[in-house]
Amino acid sequence: MDGSDAERQMKYVSSHEVENVDVAEGVSFTPEEEKALLRKIDLTLLPTIWVMYLMSYLDRTNLALARSRPSIYLPSLMILWGTLTCVMAAIKDFSHLVVLRVIIGCVEAGFAPGVLFILSSWYKRTEQSKRFGVFISAAVLSGAFGGLIAAGIVAGLEGAHGIRGWRWLFIVEGVMTIGVAFISLWILPDYPATTRRFSEREKHVAVARLATENVTAATEDTERLSNFEAIKAAVKEARTWTFVIGYMVIVGSSTLTYFYPTLIQGLFGDASTKKINLLTVPIYGVAFVATITTAYYSDKVPAWRGFIIACWLTFSLICSIIVCTVYNFTARYVLLVLMAAGLWATNGGTLAYASSAFAGMQPQARGVALAIMNALGNLAQIYGSYLFPSKDSPKYIMGFSVISAMLAVGVSVFLFMHFWFRRRLQAGRL
């Protein structure tokens, strides 16, 4: 950290110690004023992001953002993939369906990195875990109820106006996505210094309070890097690649999510589709509680985020190993519920941990680093989709063995990052 960065640092001061706090660029604000601003940010940003991410997951069950307005960029992606989802209802050839789904995937690919970037641009390091927990909870709840909602749409609209129920599913979810996108155009804020949703005073306070934790916020005067310079700055950071490895492990292990119905059917025999869907709800329900609880307490001990993630991965690793050795169906189902809780809790925790670790980077480079982590990490879904072939039913030893190995790697990576980042923080290098 150089002298200019050090000058922008300040210690936390409680409201009973001083009446106001002086921070970067001569901006002062009271603790009460910061609390009110944080509440407004939460009420403006989080509900919008939550609904948008929920629609993203319902529809599918960056670099460009560094120069784009989030309030236009993210809704535009939603409008595009919502329109393409509606078009899927008219497809008559399977090959066309596959091609269209690939195109939708490419459009959706820019959404998650964009959300990560905008959240990391508004919140302090000590505030990010709870907000990322809210973000991830949309995916968890989608998993819990998405199947039931889809089944209700298909059954309820089957044959309506001469259209099959599965086609109505694409139409309804596509229209819902487009509707949410248009609403978010009017609600979603841009960056702290440039948003049109906040007053000038609120924008100044938003930027100044981020400076207290050395979170670099984009302003009109921020130096603009070329795309190549931003990529170069991101790939030169060792922390980018450690998070890529750690996130690949978590995403690869979390592909277990795609096989919950298959695993449940293997455990309980020829269960009906409705029963299988109902049996997946407890898995996501426990995961939701674990995700929100972990996110809440992680903000209280931000320096221990890496250790908390390593502990959850160890917990899931133990569950995965036991699954390989115990063949009682009820016991395996309970282990599956517990294992999923650890995986979902670490997913949101890792996003918050990475955002916090990248906070001191130049905004465009930070956006690229988050995009690289998200993009390469999600490549794990490719090989993860082959871990549970039907021929391995009902034990699925190969799948759980591979996941156990990945989780062991994850434990090592996050323990390493925990001690590495703590040492860098103590040395003032983050």
Residue 7 lies in a domain: no
Residues 19 and 71 in one domain: yes
Cα–Cα separations (whole angstroms), residue 2 to 122, 167, 209: 23, 59, 19
Q: What does the pLDDT average to over 83-105?
A: 81
The encoded tokens of residue 88 equal 């899927």
pLDDT at 11: 33
The rounded percent of the chain whose pLDDT value lies above 70 is 83
Residue 125: predicted pLDDT:
76
* DSSP 8-class letter at 21: E
Task: Judge whether 263 lies within some domain.
Answer: yes
Residues 41 and 155 in one domain: yes
**57 neighbors 139 (Cβ within 8 angstroms):** yes
Residues in the chain: 430
User: Which residue spans within 21-103 are E strands per DSSP?
Assistant: 21-22, 28-29
Q: What is the pLDDT of residue 263?
A: 78
Residue range of the domain that includes 212: 13-222
Q: Is the domain of 190 the same as that of 55? A: yes
In a domain, 382, yes or no: yes
Instruction: Give a yes or no: residue 24 inside a domain.
Output: yes
Write down the mean pLDDT value for the chain: 79
pLDDT top residue among 298 and 272:
298
What does the pLDDT read at residue 216?
56
If we measure between CA atoms, which residue out of 172, 329, 357, 148 comes closest to residue 246?
357
pLDDT category of residue 2 using cuts at 50, 70 and 90: very low
Which pLDDT band holds residue 180 (cuts at 50, 70, 90)? confident
Residue 3 counted as domain residue: no
Domain boundary among 222, 250, 273: 222
The residue from 222, 253, 276 where one domain ends is 222
Of 28-37, 232-241, 255-264, 347-356, the one with minimum mean pLDDT is 255-264
Of the three residues 164, 187, 222, the one that is the final residue of a domain is: 222
pLDDT at 16: 32
How many CB atoms sit inside 10 A of residue 96's CB? 13
pLDDT, residue 429, reads 59
In this prediction, residue 1 carries a pLDDT of: 41
Q: How far apart are CA 374 and CA 108, in angstroms?
A: 12
pLDDT mean over 375-390: 80
Give the per-residue pLDDT at 18: 32
Higher-pLDDT residue of 326 and 9 is 326
Q: Cα(229)–Cα(27) distance, rounded to whole angstroms?
A: 31
Q: Is residue 179 part of a domain?
A: yes
Same-domain check for residues 293 and 407? yes
Considering the domain architecture, whether residues 309 and 201 belong to the same structural domain is answered as: no
Same domain, 297 and 329: yes
pLDDT above 60 (res 29) = yes
The pLDDT of residue 318: 96
Q: What is the pLDDT of residue 322?
A: 93
284 vs 20, more confident: 284
For residue 394, cis peptide bond before it (omega within 30 degrees of 0): yes
Q: Same domain for 229 and 306?
A: yes
Find the mean pLDDT for residues 248-274: 78
Mean pLDDT across 102-118: 76
Identify the DSSP state of 218. Answer: -
* Token pair of 215 as six digits: 């979170």
108, 99 contact by CB (below 8 A): no
The answer on 422 and 389 residing in a single domain is: yes
Same domain, 190 and 338: no
What is the phi/psi pair of residue 310, to 5°? -60, -40
* Structure tokens that stand for 289 in this block: 């509680």
Residue 245's pLDDT band (cuts 50, 70, 90): very high
User: Quick check: 336 pLDDT over 80?
Assistant: yes
Whether the pLDDT of residue 136 is over 50: the answer is: yes
Flag whether 59 is in a domain.
yes
Over range 20-45, report the average pLDDT.
Answer: 74
- The pLDDT score that the predictor gives to residue 62 is 38
Residues 160 and 184 in one domain: yes
**Same-domain pairing of 71 and 143:** yes
Indicate which CATH number applies to the domain containing 54.
1.20.1250.20
Among 81-95, 220-234, 359-373, name the one with the lowest average pLDDT: 220-234
| Percentage, residues of the chain above pLDDT 90 | 13
Q: How far is CA 195 from CA 5, 131, 190, in A?
A: 25, 19, 4
Q: What confidence tens digit (pLDDT) does each residue in 365-377 have?
A: 887 888 888 878 8
Q: Is 267 within the bounds of a domain?
A: yes
Beta-carbon contacts of residue 412 (< 8 Å; ≥ 6 apart): none
C-alpha dihedral over 102, 104, 107, 112, to 10 degrees? -100
Residue 409 has pLDDT above 90, yes or no: yes
Please check whether residues 420 and 374 belong to one and the same domain: yes
Domains contained in the chain, number: 2
